[in-house]
Amino acid sequence: MNESEQVSAQGFRTGFLAIVGRPNVGKSTLLNRLIGQKVSIVSRKAQTTRHRVTGVLTCDDAQYVFVDTPGFQTKHASAMNRAMNRSVTQALADVDAVLFVIEAGRFSADDREVMALLPAAVPVVLVVNKIDRLADKTQLLPLLASLAQECGFAAIVPLSAETGSNVSELLQACLPLLPEQAPIFDADDITDRSERFLAAEFIREKLFRLLGDELPYGLAVEIEKFEVDGPVRRIFAAIIVDRSSHKAMVIGKGGLKLKRIASEARVELEKLFDGPVYLEIWVKVKSGWADDERALKSLGFE
């Protein structure tokens, strides 16, 4: 570190914080709330997140680098789910602190399995999400007292990622856990993910929101071409399905379902990129893609 870097690091803190928890506790909603912009997709369905997504928040005194991870998979053993679990364990190995997210009023065996994975050498903040859904907040106290005794958390922060309640308290609790060093990212960076990756994720979010309960879990999105021409982005994307019957369901009668998916994704992408987007989407059948290591690699799984 040179002299100017030492000066810029003085009193400034920068660090990586992994956001972990079982599926559907609100990890992605929390990440988006923390950085003030949507970079991680969300839906009401569990296990929407499949990849690590990094969100960057730069303040006057600190740079927080949050790593949103997939929900740890305890029930299925496909190659895709193994890759998702690897993503969680790798994130835990490379961070300065962990945000362990649970749902207010519910602590299950799956939560306990995730808690058992938390590294002993890294400080852990217990984040109790969805407190806005509890009519009586005092119901939390026995659970929090029990967990505090069982695991030496650096802090316990009840909050609502949906409404933003207590999120600033979480940042304050995390600040002393970050090492004193200069920022890693530019002040206006919000993620280290490429526009190409974000485009695939935003299209996949629409599949989760607009298709039936089971179908989105057998789908993936591959960006085949991404062109930037001045302010315009031209994106050509393939929705990968496992069966021909799924292809028909994604396209819908008269192509209406696919048109709606493309239209809603384009609107969100134009907001994200702050400019016009030309989006073309089609559907491809690749049988067994979720158990094919090569196919998973081409789709961005680590």
Q: What is the tens place of the pLDDT at every residue in 249-286?
A: 889 899 999 999 999 999 999 998 999 999 999 999 88
**CA dist list (Å): 248 to 212, 217, 223, 251, 279:** 13, 16, 20, 5, 20
State the CB neighbour count (10 A cutoff) for residue 186.
10
- Give me the helix-helix angle, 256-273 and 244-251, nearest 10°: 70
Distance CA 163, CA 147 (A): 25
pLDDT of amino acid 145: 87
Pairing of strands 220-229, 232-241: antiparallel
* End-to-end Cα separation, the chain, in angstroms: 31
pLDDT of amino acid 170: 97
Contact call for residues 279 and 267 (beta carbons, < 8 A): no
Contact call for residues 282 and 216 (beta carbons, < 8 A): no
**CA dist list (Å): 276 to 142, 229, 231, 267:** 52, 10, 7, 9
pLDDT of amino acid 227: 96
| The two three-digit tokens of residue 237, written as one number | 């994307």
DSSP lists the bridge partners of residue 65 as 16, 56
Q: Which residues of the chain have pLDDT under 50?
A: 1-7, 43, 45-50, 73-74, 302
124-129 β-sheet, strand order: 53-58, 62-68, 13-20, 97-103, 124-129, 155-158
pLDDT of amino acid 179: 94
